[in-house]
Structure 1
Amino acid sequence: MNIFFSLIKCLIFLIYWLLIANITFRVLIKKRRSIASSLSWLLSVYIIPFIGIFIWFFFGELYLDKRQKKIANRIWSMSNTWLNELKSRTYIFQIKNSEVATSLFQLCKHRQGISGIKSNKLKLLTNTNKIIETLIRDISLARKNIEMVFYIWKPGGIADDVAMALIKSAKRGIHCRLMLDSAGSIAFFRSPWVDIMRKSGIQVVEALKVSLLRVFLRRLDVRQHRKIILIDNYIVYSGSMNLVDPFLFKKSSGIGQWIDLMTRIEGPIAATMGIIYSCDWEIETGLKILPPLPNKTILKDNSNKNSSIQVIASGPGFPENMIHQALLTAIYSAKHELIMTTPYLVPSEDLLYAICTAAQRGVKVSIIIPLYHDSILVKWASRVFFTELLEAGVKIYQFKKGLLHSKSILVDQQLSLIGTANLDMRSLWLNFEITLVIDDSHFGKNLFCIQKQYISDSVLLDKKVWSMRAYWTRILEKIFYFLSPLL
């Protein structure tokens, strides 16, 4: 009996060290992972043995299941026939960009293969009720198709009004597709709305399903975080807003109403948004739904000749590290003023250095974050960056009228970046995200007014007061900072 137990112990010991060796090898060969992230994983696995191994198998690697990975690897390649045909429609592309935007648009062209695209109409939306009202009107006027993807759809309030509008459109023959993240929209998939929508003819897809059976097939924390609405291959909505009623969503948390930004665009940009949606749909269903290529009639005579838009998508199958590169390029392009809003501030070392450098070379840099937060982990992890930012001359504003959820960057009131990506590791390198890059002075001035309103509703973090914070809070900040590469 003693021999048997000794053999079992030896077997467990052998399996344990084989797992450790396997994880160490995977961490070291991962080309995109930073040194800080690699060290965090190695320390976690070696110092907290079994727990570290368990966490690694859940969150350590970015992968889909085999079928999804195969699709993802081919859909956004430069050999993609649809993209090559889109590039032949030269009339939709903007030839020249403003000085501050040129570098970023050149980067996008090199990495994604297409230039900035013209638009007919570009509008920035801030009031959730008005956004929903406008959206419902567009849904009711749709003539061909409606496609949506959201991270969160929470039933109740004005979200139900959108559901009813979508159902009515489906019943009158409009082709409707709805893709929602499994984890973010768990309340929706447990509600009667799924069956009601499907019976009305709406195709509802649960993206990146969460279940125990999928634990060893892929990472469970890879999430579909995009927010996109496409109507008639012509109207596009995108931004930070989930399909929720802000007066009801997470009301019990006591942090107040969620504050978001959405952009509504008319024109050929719908084609590039459509191919991104098509990619996501194929990954989930295996079915191709390529959007129609834009013709000359899609651009109206009154189209904005000085406006140029790029769409940057991230996630498995899309150009690697693209959003991170875009953010760095935008920050380094700033000459006069840089304003950033984000609910989650846990930047990479490169982003932190770029922001501090901008302030040190004379750019007026402001970062607006929520005073009240829904994530304790991110809240504490973000605090460790404050000292370095403040010392560099960055102004940090803490928004006090709810949870500021909008994600925006404005460079010299000309170049705008608006989308779903937060300034944290998860958005930059893990989730399916989307960012609109807009080179338009009128749009930039509108965004500037909104950001100034955010600032007026915020408290400025005082450098001296911050330096006098309690010692125990500094210890907590360092602990959460240690975990930040894993966020």
Structure 2
Amino acid sequence: MRVIKVIIAFILWVVLDVQLGKREHRKNHRTLPFEATKGDYRFYKNGSPLFEDLFEEVSQAQDQIDVYYYLIRRDKVSLKFLSLLKMKAEEGIKVHLIVDRMVSAPLRREYRSLKKAGVSVSFAETPRFPSFFYTLNRRNHRKMVVIDGAIGYVGGFNVGREYIGKSSEFSDWRDYHLRLTGSIVRDLHRIILDDWAYTTGEVLPSVSYREGGEYPFQIVAFDGIGAENTFLTMIKRAKREILIGSPYFIPSKKIQRELLDALDRGVKLHILLPLKRDHALVKEAGLPYLQELVLNGAHAHHYNAGFYHAKIIMVDQEAADIGTANFDRRSMFLNKEVNISIFDQAFVQHLRNEYFKDIESSIYFDKQEAASPSFGTKVKIQLARPFRGVL
């Protein structure tokens, strides 16, 4: 009887914790909308050229380096990056590094060394009472670097050897990342400034920005609020085609209804997901939604040339949205994310071409497979159901 009382008390505590956390979150969210602006870009889909360019430009920084990463691994690639930050701080460059409290904590010894060298280091999203369980699940999932106020990097790549295809488990790693210059860098930097102020209570030094750029962009910093509406707006606008790419597919009920409505009005829908998974039950959590869409005419593909980690939605070959937000409920309702809306049709067409190249390396998920999952899959679907919001 005592054990039962303890279990009931624990469940009530968690329920109260989550309700308090949601209320506080909705009241004090830090979603940052920006006006459309201009910039120039370089697009990456593989980690090796990305890290080569990023590391070189960090090494050439003259004034200030501001970094936020959700995840920095402990391996040769990550340690090289941290060594560069340390070297620049020892040269007298102002260096600020924020990492997620939960997932990047194992590098504590390296962080102490960075601080000793003059790097300002902070940890984002520390769980706190009275809503410990809710804040434990509220992660800052952004990946951003701004160098001298002139160059910005943002997208899906964290830092580690697995992102250059050196993982024995995943082999090649597909993701999308941007190098940005021009006016849009000011907006990207404002997000890092806000993250730093929220985490530390301090204001980062100001920098000089370089205005201009050829291509139209719009950046949005989500805080567990806003991503769903952005996706809904794009889906509702579609007349001919919707392309979705994501490592995880767990749509909200509203988005699922809009995708079904789009299919009903004749819009062609493609969904590209990884064949391999990097978290238990995450595939099964979204499978019922994928099955329903496929049985109603959607085309689903499982990438089989490595791990697909890109996050993208494209509509009618006219607009695209890429960044850090996955097509799942965690990104829509819990995480801090940053996405870039792209309106240049040549760039959108380039992204579309890359998307269909990856489909060529994918396995088609047909109606027969959607209609007849195995018994083991059905069991996993039921096990995953209570965790759809946090996987």
State TM-score, norm by structure 2.
0.90
Q: Secondary structure at the match of 1:298?
A: coil
Q: Is the 8 A contact 1:359 1:365 kept in 2?
A: yes
Q: 1:129 to 1:255 in 2, by over 3 A?
A: closer
Alignment of structure 1 residues 457-472 onto 2, 5 Å: 457-472=361-376
Q: Distance in 2 between matches of 1:446 and 1:401?
A: 20
RMSD over aligned CA atoms reads: 2.8
The question of 1:281 aligning with 2:196 is answered yes
Q: Give CA deviations for 1:108-159 in whole Å, capped at 9, x if unaligned.
A: xxx93x420011x212111201100000121122121111111100121222
Q: Distance in 1 between matches of 2:20 and 2:284?
A: 25
Aligned-residue offset at 1:235 = 1.1
Q: Distance in 2 between matches of 1:74 and 1:372?
A: 34
The question of 1:53 aligning with 2:12 is answered yes
Aligned-residue offset at 1:408 = 0.9
Q: Could you say which residue in structure 1 is the equivalent of 2:179?
A: 264
Q: Could you say which residue in structure 1 is the equivalent of 2:37?
A: 117
Q: Could you say which residue in structure 2 is the equivalent of 1:166?
A: 85
Q: Distance in 2 between matches of 1:221 and 1:477?
A: 21
Q: Distance in 2 between matches of 1:473 and 1:279?
A: 43
Alignment of structure 1 residues 122-201 onto 2, 5 Å: 122-189=41-108, 192-201=109-118
Q: Give CA deviations for 1:319-361 in whole Å, capped at 9, x if unaligned.
A: x731111111111222222211111111101111122222222
Q: Distance in 1 between matches of 2:161 and 2:147?
A: 22
The question of 1:209 aligning with 2:117 is answered no
Q: 1:246 to 1:158 in 2, by over 3 A?
A: same
Q: Secondary structure at the match of 1:369?
A: strand
Q: Could you say which residue in structure 2 is the equivalent of 1:235?
A: 151
Q: Secondary structure at the match of 2:161?
A: coil
Q: Identify which of 273, 280, 285 aligns with 1:381.
A: 285
Q: Secondary structure at the match of 2:136?
A: coil
Aligned-residue offset at 1:171 = 2.0
Q: Is the 8 A contact 1:346 1:382 kept in 2?
A: yes
Q: Identify which of 204, 207, 222 aligns with 2:138.
A: 222
Q: Secondary structure at the match of 1:335?
A: coil
Q: Is the 8 A contact 1:274 1:291 kept in 2?
A: no
Q: 1:243 to 1:293 in 2, by over 3 A?
A: same
Q: Distance in 1 between matches of 2:146 and 2:23?
A: 26
Q: Give CA deviations for 1:178-231 in whole Å, capped at 9, x if unaligned.
A: 000011102222xx3212211221111121235xxx353542111111111111
Q: 1:332 to 1:62 in 2, by over 3 A?
A: same
Q: Distance in 2 between matches of 1:118 and 1:482?
A: 43
Where structure 1 has 5 or more consecutive residues not aligned to the other structure, the ranges are 1-8, 17-47, 77-110
Q: Is the 8 A contact 1:311 1:434 kept in 2?
A: yes
Q: Distance in 2 between matches of 1:134 and 1:379?
A: 33
Q: Is the 8 A contact 2:137 2:390 kept in 1?
A: no
Corresponding letter in the other structure for 2:130? F
Q: Is the 8 A contact 1:310 1:436 kept in 2?
A: yes
Q: Could you say which residue in structure 2 is the equivalent of 1:298?
A: 211
Q: Is the 8 A contact 2:17 2:131 kept in 1?
A: no
State TM-score, norm by structure 1.
0.73
Q: Distance in 1 between matches of 2:354 and 2:250?
A: 23
Q: Distance in 2 between matches of 1:323 and 1:139?
A: 31
Q: Is the 8 A contact 1:124 1:446 kept in 2?
A: no
Q: Distance in 2 between matches of 1:354 and 1:458?
A: 25
Aligned residues: 387
Q: 1:243 to 1:58 in 2, by over 3 A?
A: farther
Q: Could you say which residue in structure 2 is the equivalent of 1:311?
A: 219
Corresponding letter in the other structure for 1:310? Q
Where structure 2 has 5 or more consecutive residues not aligned to the other structure, the ranges are none
Q: Distance in 2 between matches of 1:248 and 1:199?
A: 30
Sequence identity of aligned pairs in percent? 26
Aligned-residue offset at 1:367 = 0.6
Q: Is the 8 A contact 2:72 2:158 kept in 1?
A: yes
Q: Choose 1 or 2 for highest CA Rg.
A: 1
Q: Distance in 2 between matches of 1:206 and 1:154?
A: 15
Q: Secondary structure at the match of 1:385?
A: helix
Q: Secondary structure at the match of 1:193?
A: helix
Q: Distance in 2 between matches of 1:64 and 1:181?
A: 22
Q: Identify which of 388, 399, 403 aligns with 2:303.
A: 399
Instruction: Specify which structure has the higher proportion of strand.
Output: 2
Aligned-residue offset at 1:405 = 1.0
Q: Is the 8 A contact 2:148 2:208 kept in 1?
A: no
Q: Distance in 2 between matches of 1:386 and 1:63?
A: 28
Q: Could you say which residue in structure 1 is the equivalent of 2:330?
A: 426
Q: Could you say which residue in structure 2 is the equivalent of 1:96?
A: none
Aligned-residue offset at 1:386 = 2.1
Q: 1:293 to 1:144 in 2, by over 3 A?
A: closer
The question of 1:477 aligning with 2:376 is answered no
Q: 1:64 to 1:287 in 2, by over 3 A?
A: farther
Q: Distance in 1 between matches of 2:328 and 2:81?
A: 31
Q: Distance in 2 between matches of 1:385 and 1:172?
A: 53
Corresponding letter in the other structure for 2:71? I
The question of 1:448 aligning with 2:352 is answered yes
Aligned-residue offset at 1:274 = 1.6
Q: Distance in 2 between matches of 1:412 and 1:453?
A: 18
The question of 1:333 aligning with 2:241 is answered no
Q: Distance in 2 between matches of 1:132 and 1:153?
A: 13
Q: Is the 8 A contact 2:46 2:164 kept in 1?
A: no
